[in-house]
Amino acid sequence: MERQRPVPPDAGLSTQRVVERAIRLADREGVGGLSMRRLAGELGAGAMSLYHYVANKDELLDAMIDVVFQEIELPPDGTDGQSAIRRRATSARQVLARHPWAIGLMESRTSPGPANLRHREAVTACLRRAGFSVVMATHANWLLDSYVYGFALQEAGLPFDTAHELAEMTEGVYLPQLPPEQFPHLNESAAALVAAGYDPTEEFAFGLDLILAALEPLRDPA
């Protein structure tokens, strides 16, 4: 009589499912709330069973960050360098808004996954095609990533999401704390921005345009 093969523990699991649920947990509670035991509870599995799919938490984080890189649009071929760089930066900001826990981990992984490496290769290739030297492409890459990560980090901490919410907070919370005789310039700025319908979501494009304009003359005309 043929022996039955043993059923693996928690047979409904897979590496993909473990990583996807870990991302959902981190999206909801931050990476500080992620532990193998907590993740196992989310999956309805035994904590030790997860180690059949990821060796440890570091490997899990590597896989999670690789998914984040996979979600970022690669610089498209067939478009001018500025447009390609702008699209990639805008996509990165949108992805990090969905996964704010990833901001501090994007550059920390020492075992980058395939999507991570593919992304970095595509960005470097885009900058080189745009006419930047190897060294200048490195400078540009650092500058762009610092801007995107920094903006995403600041944006994640804001207590408002829209121009309407900002206006309500400014009028109901901030302005009462800004007596004109003590803070004339802050009071003036807050009142003027509310009156103008200032939209903080437009700041990213403003800053990115300045960076791209500053980089433009640094390209090798050859």
φ, ψ of residue 15 to 5 degrees: the values are: -60, -40
Asked if residues 126 and 75 have their Cβ atoms less than 8 Å apart, the reply is: yes
Tokens of 108: 């920390």
Q: How far apart are CA 216 and CA 10, in angstroms?
A: 55
pLDDT tens-digit map of 146-199: 999 999 999 999 888 888 898 999 999 988 998 999 999 999 999 899 899 899
Whether the pLDDT of residue 136 is over 80: the answer is: yes
Kindly report whether the global pTM for this prediction surpasses the value 0.85.
yes
pLDDT tens-digit map of 36-47: 999 999 999 888
